[in-house]
A and B are shown apart, each in its own frame.
Chain A
Amino acid sequence: MPLDLVVVGAGPGGYVAAVRAAQLGLATAVVEADRAGGVCGNWGCIPSKAILADAELCAETRRAAELGIARAAPAFDYARVIARSREVADRQAKGVESLFRKHRIAYHHGRARLARGGVVVTAAGAPPQRLDARHVLLATGSVERTLPGIAVDGTVVLTSREALALPVLPASAVVVGGGAVGVELAYAWASFGARVTVVEMAPALLPGMDADLGRELGRAFGRLGIEVLTGCRVERCTRTDAGAEVVVAGPDGPRTLAAAAVLIAVGRAPRTADLGLDEAGVRLERGFVWTDAAMRTSAPGVWAIGDLVGPLLLAHTASAQGIVAVEAMAGVEGASPVDPTRVPVCVYCQPEVAAVGLTEAEARARGLEVTVGRFPFRAAGKAAATGHAEGFVKVILGSRHREIAGVHMIGRGVTELIAEAGLSRTLEATAEDVVATIHAHPTLAEALRQAVLAALGRAIDV
């Protein structure tokens, strides 16, 4: 009996799609080459959050005296930090596997390759196995990009994957790339006491996000002792006895940085190799798998989601696309495609960064007339009281209809606050709707309402 669906990849895209498919009554199997949970659960979102939680505690302890606590230099066991992070990752992987059992989803370990009417799974020490299915959903995710001419050795020159499992804190590090992965690890290492330099080619950290956020984060990093070199490119990276030397070229001329570790965090590339895409007729576009709005590829019966289709390479994009794809397969009507302007983006260093919707530059590029409102956390009672007053909330309103076109936040706790902005995007709320919503005082969430008020020229607290 052929299956209804084979999902290739058990990351946040694949496992969510498989569970939804099972709920809809599709006979489903999942093939995973590595560990259930994918990069997110094993070498990304989740284990990095474990390390960041410890890093934050360490950073907080350093400023304990300021908060009225007897100052104590934090002592930490970095190997234990990493071990805890791995335990969290292991629990994630087991959790996903138990979801498969609960929903009676067949779980195959091995590499899948597209074949006519299904996939062929190969695993070490077993003969190739054919899985026939009406639909194949590719959710193989992505791998860390590297730079040409720079060899990742896994001990000194690292990608995030090695960095998250490295049991020794590097005394100093050069982080190449100031995107989400780069700034999170830079913050973590610096909080434990490492000397960190971040090198970013763009004029500000977090390229792709609203430029005000990256600039504010750069200032905050400066206060933490992290050196930020923007507008700089890495020319060379050579191994030395003590680690590595990185030559960067920038507006102030070339500079040589010596460090015990180099983290290459220049983005992720879709994992398209060895899937048999060509033979199956799955078309790529700029390296990513092309799909329509329902996540169908150009090959009949083959669907793709997540990092494989880009460009918003985020776990929750993959999960949402997985549901769109599976509901389309099952004939559920009324499923809406994933609208990138409703996908929140979060960065988990301190201060945290979060955004949803259009940036100010994007809005203007689309010819949308906008009104911008801004509210600094230092004017929010809760932020002042807890001693985390850096950052701000920036709101982009369409001038004409006063819809919430975009919300950009930086500050402690904003990765939780962004959900309200996401809801207001989905509900197509207007400025007046947010203003009419009574926010508890004192909370950080008040800042969103205050920023909207500011856009309307009615801010109370600034």
Chain B
Amino acid sequence: MSIDVTMPKLSDTMEEGKVLRWLKHVGDRVAPGDVLAEVETDKADMELEAYDEGVLAEVRTQEGETVAVGTVIAVLAGPGEGVTAAPTPPAPAPPKPPAARAESPRPTLVRRAEPPPPAAPGERVRASPLARRVAEEHGVDLAGIAGSGPGGRIVERDVRAAVGGREAPASPAEAPAAVKRIELGKIRRTTARRMAEAKREVPHFYVTAEVAMDEAAQLKAQLARLGGEWEGLTFTHLLLKATGLALRRVPEMNASLDGDALLVHEAVNVGLATAVDDGLLVPVVRSCDATPLRELVRDVRGLVERARAGRPAADDLTGATFTLSNLGMYPVAAFAAVVNPPQAAILAVGTVRDVPVVRGGVVSPGRVMSVTLSCDHRIVDGALAGRFLAELKALLEAPVALVV
């Protein structure tokens, strides 16, 4: 029995992937966990692992080719099955499905047609004569290039971009001299597109609470003194745990919008907004409610290291049900984050500040942290946001619940 290997969805925002390199070749034996290929997604280069045992019978997507998520890129033959040695010619890549973008109700938002996908083999490639000539010179296949010219025609700059700008274009548009132009990396491009979409389409509202952090700070210091697996414990870990437990107690917040339905998630997976060189990645900490705090310390360390190294594991970036953004390491008193659709909300955390606190009519020094919840008002109302923050505040102010 043959098994199809499809282009996996390796991040929540991934729509297509590019096969960078096949590490297994037709005829190679494959065991579950073997790395079949390296895949470039919208955010990172990732390894594509085999889930089944067998023999690589057919490679359908060539190196350098970009295909939509779900496209069959290779076929495994079951163990013991015969394998045709001859490599099969690449099957035509299915045209990219038109992105289902919600049109804004404003009549002023007009979108031109999505640029057409690269032409399938045999189809006429629309390319300018100069683009054809430059492609020929560099041995680039025009069929793999998306055109940016009028009507999606492939023009010189598209081919130059595809060959990696090895050569300056003959007649570039003049750029203003005092401005340095930096082409956006793929993570930044994705971030830019997603954030703009989120702010445009999600009706945000914001609720802020002040949390007394005296006890949490004490707890953190005490645990850190234990060393060993507690080494590296930060407020972020306490926040992840507290957020996980609060989501468990207020499950309507652990939800996402799906068309006209609300999906309430059983798993409590909190994405942790993480700055990387080229933008923002959100590695996902799974089961934040159930995972013991000291294991969270270990999990987060691995996730963040892999994300910063640009080599996240296959499921590091998928399945978040809520997002946490902590800028407490900077002198940020409070801020409001942008909701990461389709999630219902995102929690933005400021630094822990020393402030005068009035208790029983007496002013005494205290440690306070501001948390701001940005919510998608289509599925979250103010009262729900308030309930969530009340739970979170209670957990952080009596933090023993985070370790028991």
Contact = CB atoms under 8 A, between A and B. Distances in A.
A6 B155 CA distance: 35
Interface string B103-131: 01011111110010000000000001111
A134 to B, nearest CB: 9
B182 interface: no
B171 A26 contact: no
Given A401-B133, A428-B129, A429-B130, A368 B108 contact: no
A60 interface: no
Contacts of A339: 171, 173
A357 B171 contact: yes
Interface string A367-411: 110000000000000000000000000000010111101000000
Given A334-B148, A402-B133, A430-B130, A340 B156 contact: no
Nearest to A334: B112
Contacts of B150: 426
A428 B107 contact: no
Interface string A252-296: 000000000000000000000000000000000100001111000
A428 B131 contact: yes
Interface in A287-338: 290-293, 330-334, 336-338
Contacts of A334: 112, 115, 148
Nearest to A369: B170
Contact of B112 (A332, A337, A426): A332
Contact of A341 (B129, B130, B173): B173
Contacts of A330: 108-110
Nearest to A406: B171
Interface in B164-198: 168, 170-171, 173-179
B137 interface: yes
Interface string B370-398: 00000000000000000000000000000
Interface residues of B, number: 31
Contacts of A25: 106-108, 110
A290 B128 contact: no
Given A24-B110, A330-B108, A285 B173 contact: no
Interface in B115-162: 115, 128-131, 133-134, 137, 148-150, 155-156
Given A334-B148, A428-B131, A430-B133, A358 B171 contact: yes
Contact of B108 (A4, A358, A428): A4
A443 B7 CA distance: 58
A405 B169 CA distance: 11
A427 interface: yes
B104, B110, B112, B130 pick with most chain A CB within 10 angstroms: B130
A4 B108 CA distance: 9
B173 A428 contact: no
A368 B173 CA distance: 15
B101 to A, nearest CB: 11
Contact of A331 (B111, B173, B174, B176): B111
A366 B170 contact: yes
B110 A340 contact: no
B136 to A, nearest CB: 9
A293, A341, A401 pick with most chain B CB within 10 angstroms: A401
A283 B109 CA distance: 28
Contacts of B177: 285
B71 to A, nearest CB: 25
Contacts of B134: 401
Nearest to B200: A331
A332 B110 contact: yes
Nearest to B151: A334
Interface string B327-371: 000000000000000000000000000000000000000000000
B154 to A, nearest CB: 10
A432 interface: yes
Contacts of B178: 285, 290
B110 A331 contact: yes
Contacts of A331: 104, 108-111
6 contacts: A4-B108, A25-B106, A401-B133, A402-B133, A428-B130, A430-B133
A-B complex: 6 closest residue pairs judged by Cβ atoms: A428-B128, A428-B130, A25-B107, A339-B173, A334-B112, A401-B133
